Amino acid sequence: MTEKKNICITINSLGPGGAEKQSLLLAKALKHDHNIVLVILNAQPVYQPRLVFIENEEIQHIYLSNNPIKKVVGFTKFLKKRKIDVIFSFLPKDSVLSAICGKVAKTPYIFGGIRNSHLERVKFFTLKLINNHLLNYTIANNYAAYSSSIDFGFKDKVFVIPNGIEIRPIPKKENLNKNLITIISLGRLVDQKDYETAIRSIAHLRRILDKKYSIKYKIVGQGAGKESIVDSIKKHDVMQEVELITNATGIYDLLDSSDIYLCTSKFEGISNSIMEAMNSGLPIVATDAGDNSRLVLDGKNGLITKIGAYKEIAKHLVSLSESPELRDRMGNLSYDHLRDNFSYEAFQKKYLSLIENIHSFKIQNGNIGSIKNEEV
């Protein structure tokens, strides 16, 4: 039995993003074996389901001061007082804070985080600086980010632990032979997600799809790009086909009532939204961005396209729309692939094993193992 360690998990806020969700999942995964405190840098924004999760899982948590100086001083004092052994951080801001305060507090192990293969140059440079000089290690949640960091000059202290997800019972798909095909995308309304390409693909799909099928495309998310998406919907004359949902509450209800998941991102890490779609047993059409091809095995549980290739995307959507059998087969394989490789249990095992072997693990090509070369 590994000796209990005092572990701090940091996150910028309790917002709706994937990193925030993964920080809470990690707290849950470790709390029975170690002493866990979640440290939240900013009181806003707050996504209510995050608070519900914290309450239900009884996760100990604190908020830092809004004042930058008090934030640094308070966090450093906290690390010393609690005798924190390990810090896990997820995003650039909290990784930088953890690197500085952890070093001052002489915290034995400080892990930063990198979650995207494309970052603003100043962020990438800052993460490189702290990885090379202050952090013990950096954890990437995807191999695209790992490769980008090494190419950018990060010392070989970076390794990958993919996101995890709690597997739910696969929903039963009924009335597969229906005439209305529902396609869905989840994600922030930002340029990275390239909803312009998604909307163009829907417009093209409408032109080439068999007339016995009609389509509904739901874009679900929030973000600064809302107005440009609305303009794009009007420009491509798909007001009847495309619905923009910015106040969704039951994400799985929306996924369970859909037939196909669409991701048109220009770049990604490992997509929580695709994982949620797989958890609903959906076939996926996705661009070859980030680690999408590790989630979507081309021709098995979905179809991979080039970035921006709206005609190719539409072609794949036609194939899935016209074949309920193909949708059903690929959807079941999506669920199986997620369960076998990205479950909460696999995520938990990797982190617990990392902590158990924290003095002796080795890194090879972005993967970690114990000193005995056993896979973590």
Same domain, residue pair 34 and 77: yes
Same domain, residue pair 16 and 90: yes
Q: Within a domain: residue 169?
A: no
Q: Within a domain: residue 265?
A: yes
Q: Within a domain: residue 173?
A: no
Q: Within a domain: residue 207?
A: yes
Same domain, residue pair 266 and 154: no
Same domain, residue pair 192 and 332: yes
Same domain, residue pair 349 and 222: no
Same domain, residue pair 240 and 198: yes
Q: Is 304 exposed, middle or buried (0-12, 13-18, 19+ CB in 10 A)?
A: buried
Bridge partners of 199, per DSSP, are none
DSSP 78-123: HHHHTT--EEE--SHHHHHHHHHHHHHTT-SEEEEEE--S---HHH
Same domain, residue pair 155 and 209: no
Given a contact cutoff of 8 angstroms between Cβ atoms, the answer to whether 259 and 284 are in contact is no
Per-residue pLDDT for the chain (376 aa), expressed as one digit of tens each?
A: 568 999 999 999 999 888 999 999 999 999 999 999 999 999 999 989 999 999 999 999 999 999 999 999 999 999 999 999 999 999 999 999 999 999 999 999 999 999 988 888 999 999 999 999 999 999 999 999 999 999 999 999 999 999 999 999 988 887 777 899 999 999 999 999 999 999 999 999 999 998 889 999 999 998 999 999 999 999 999 999 999 999 888 899 999 999 999 999 999 989 999 999 999 999 999 999 999 999 999 999 999 999 999 999 999 999 999 999 999 999 999 999 999 999 999 999 999 999 999 999 999 999 987 434 444 3
Q: In the numeric block, which tokens belong to residue 330? A: 């690929």
Q: Within a domain: residue 198?
A: yes
Bridge partners of 302, per DSSP, are 284, 298
pTM equals: 0.86
Q: Within a domain: residue 23?
A: yes
**Whole-number Å distance between alpha carbons of 260 and 234:** 23
Q: Within a domain: residue 235?
A: yes
Domain that holds residue 84: 6-164+343-369
Closest CA to 301 of 265, 346, 260: 260
Same domain, residue pair 144 and 201: no
The CATH number assigned to the domain holding 227 equals: 3.40.50.2000
Q: Is 328 exposed, middle or buried (0-12, 13-18, 19+ CB in 10 A)?
A: middle
- The upper half-sphere exposure of residue 188, i.e. CA atoms within 13 Å in the direction of its Cβ, equals 15
Q: Within a domain: residue 175?
A: no
Same domain, residue pair 217 and 298: yes
> What is the Cα Rg of the chain in Å?
21
Residue 32: partners with Cβ closer than 8 Å, 6 or more residues away? none
